[in-house]
Amino acid sequence: MMRQYELVERVTKYDPDADEDLLNRAYIYAMKAHGTQKRASGEAYFNHPLEVAAILAEMKLDTATIVAALLHDTVEDTEATQQEIVDKFGPEIASLVDGLTKIAKLDMVTREATQAENLRKLLLAMSRDVRVLLVKLADRLHNMRTLHHVKPEKRQRIAQETMEIYAPLAGRMGMQLIRDEMEDIAFGVLNPDAQDIIVQRLVRLHTESGNVLREIEIALSKELAANGLKAEVSGREKRAYSIWRKMERKQLSLDQLSDIFAFRVLVERVDECYRALGVVHRTWKAVPGRFKDYISNPKQNDYRSLHTTVIGPHSMRVEMQIRTHIMHEIADRGVAAHALYKDIAEAKSGDATPAKESNAYRWLRHLMDVLQEGDSPKEFLEHTKLELFHDQVFCFTPKGQLIALPLGATPIDFAYAVHTSVGDSCVGSKVNGRHAPLVTHLRNGDEVEIIRSEAQVPPPAWEAIAVTGKAKAAIRRATGAAIRKQFAGLGREIVEKLLERQSHPFVEKELVKAVPRLGHKNVDDALAAVGRGQLSALDVLKALGLTVDEKEVRAMRRKVSARKAAGSSKFSLPVRGAEANMALKIHPVTGAVPGERIVGITMPGEGITIYPIFANALEQFDQEPERWVDLAWGIAEEGQRFPARIHISLINEVGALAQVTQVIGENGGNIDELQLVKREGVRDFFDLTVLIEVFDNRHLNDIMKALKSRPSVNSVARVTG
């Protein structure tokens, strides 16, 4: 355990003006408060806040942050109170401690709801003072370092939470060193087999490559020096989780990955970064399409660097990162480095960053604006994870305004990023001057023009297409309002018809007075409840002081609903975006289900064929954009099923096929077609393709997940054509 004087010495070494008395008092107070408490490892509990303080001291943070780290668990886990912290250490430190204290005794039914509320409190505290985040991340990092002492089931939950929330949060705030360590530890817990395989491959690769890393370092250093550049060059192998993530993202095997080695070139000034880039490209051949300039277009977390990939010695692909020393500090430590390098240091180096507020702080405030829209804990967690995980692309409006979006964003996300009203009224888009489907994935540098119509209402299926939390929340609100309006209209008609039979006029003012008796806020809410069937029209009439036969109410509802249905869609498929006289059919090879992104291709004389966006068959229409039709799923009728074809690799053993059909049946799927093929030259496996009918994408994923869990099933995947 670190002694009291050792912690003080660490802090005063980088901050001679640190308040030593405050540090000493906090050390003693926390040690006494935690007393004889023990951690899962058996060591004294006080060692945990002490190690958290040590991590923050390595980042050279201010005294208040170090003190908050020492005290961060006192209110939650000891007899200490928030008022005591205020009295003994002042309101500033007490505010930090309060932001780090979980909400106690929450009346929540689920763990998810409790997690969401605690996360909401943490994010709000972070938006007021980012030091809360720094302490929380250091706290989580030390917990991850000691995770092997925790029970397996809890270990899995903590690792998953870290991977989904805290590691990407550290990345968003630019703290890459903490993110990398968290992800590697969590990866080892969640997927130990994959981690072992990658580590073994790296060891073998390092042995086979010998001194190649050193050879490249020496050669590059000489070239840079010969061109008058003083630079530090260092090479490294990429981390296991980073390699795994790239394999998943690009659908590559470990043997197909070529740029496992990465080199970092550190120089003094920004102009030297571009000069060094020229030297690198003159020395080795650049790989086309692998250059990124994050200096002129920094990431949302303030990360700045030049990235390029070259063919180095021995035909080895090598990734190069070129940046200044200050950029490197911010890349590793993010917001924790800003306090050290904001004014004087950057002025001396010529390394300019935003003067008043970093991108990371702006992103944090934007995140809070988006998350305030969440209607439920589930939505809050969903939007948080969406905002945390995505990387960026930079697009432009026709007037040249720069819009930063997550990787995989579509024109729908772009429209909502410009303004909510633009998104709500979007009916089409042009990308780089050409009409493009709304499901198009935008790329860096795209110029996007949104085509609008005030008569447009965002279809519910857009929520599955959008990737930003802002767009999803806005679509959910807009479609919810539209659906509510439809149900209110249906309810109004039912009530009007019943009142007409009673020879009683529909008077809005009378209904306004009756609404409180019905338990609703206003007339539209009450009528929408009638339309949904949540409120009986009979109760509305009773609230108005009238009586009517209940059978008559049910008959009226059936008549109105039938007429509405007859006048709505002519298609059996609940698809929006096609002209009313066009026949629709689903591509038979892949199938398509609600929840998946879909696109239509016009077939002369046949109508429109619906394809899932991942269908290989779409490639044949790349040169015929005039045949593409933007489609989106509407609302399916209750119980309606849709086809999806899946491929199953099945172990050749007794009862294997029975397991597949049993799983599909138990999970409510319907087998429409089944084909079993024995692999030539492979005796142990069969290939099985099944066309199953499901309600939506979630239903399909549940079936595929259940299949994967069976011992006879080697793999399950959608057929892409």
* Active centre residues (catalytic): 76-77
537-553: buried (b, 16+ CB within 10 Å) or exposed (e) per residue? bbbbbebbeeebeeeeb
Secondary structure class of 719 (helix, strand, coil): coil
Cα→Cα distances 260→11, 221, 257, 323, Å: 38, 20, 7, 20
CA pair distance 70, 66, nearest whole angstrom: 7
715, β-bridge pairs:
649
Contact status, residue 258 vs residue 264, Cβ threshold 8 Å? no
> Quick one: which of 308, 309, 311 has its CA closest to 293?
308
Rounded to the nearest 5 degrees, what angle is found at the Cα of 340, between the Cα atoms of 338 and 346? 80
> Quick one: which of 696, 713, 707 has its CA closest to 652?
713
650, β-bridge pairs:
686, 713
CA pair distance 707, 705, nearest whole angstrom: 5
For 668, what's the count of Cα atoms within 13 Å in the CB-facing half-sphere?
A: 12
Secondary structure class of 250 (helix, strand, coil): helix
The set of residues, in sequence order, having a beta carbon less than 8 Å from that of 323 and lying 6+ positions away, is 264, 265, 266, 267, 273, 295, 304, 305, 306, 331
Sign of the C-alpha dihedral computed for residues 303, 306, 312 and 317 taken in this order? positive
Neighbours of 198 (CB within 10 A): 23
CA pair distance 578, 562, nearest whole angstrom: 23
CA pair distance 376, 280, nearest whole angstrom: 51
For 320, what's the count of Cα atoms within 13 Å in the CB-facing half-sphere?
A: 32
Sign of the C-alpha dihedral computed for residues 49, 51, 56 and 61 taken in this order? positive
Contact status, residue 412 vs residue 424, Cβ threshold 8 Å? no
CA pair distance 706, 646, nearest whole angstrom: 13
92 CB burial (10 A radius; 0-12, 13-18, 19+):
middle
Neighbours of 672 (CB within 10 A): 14
Contact status, residue 321 vs residue 293, Cβ threshold 8 Å? no
352 CB burial (10 A radius; 0-12, 13-18, 19+):
exposed
CA pair distance 409, 392, nearest whole angstrom: 9
CA pair distance 650, 556, nearest whole angstrom: 54
**What is the residue-wise DSSP string for 686-702?**
EEEEEEEEESSHHHHHH
Which H or E run includes 423? helix 420-424
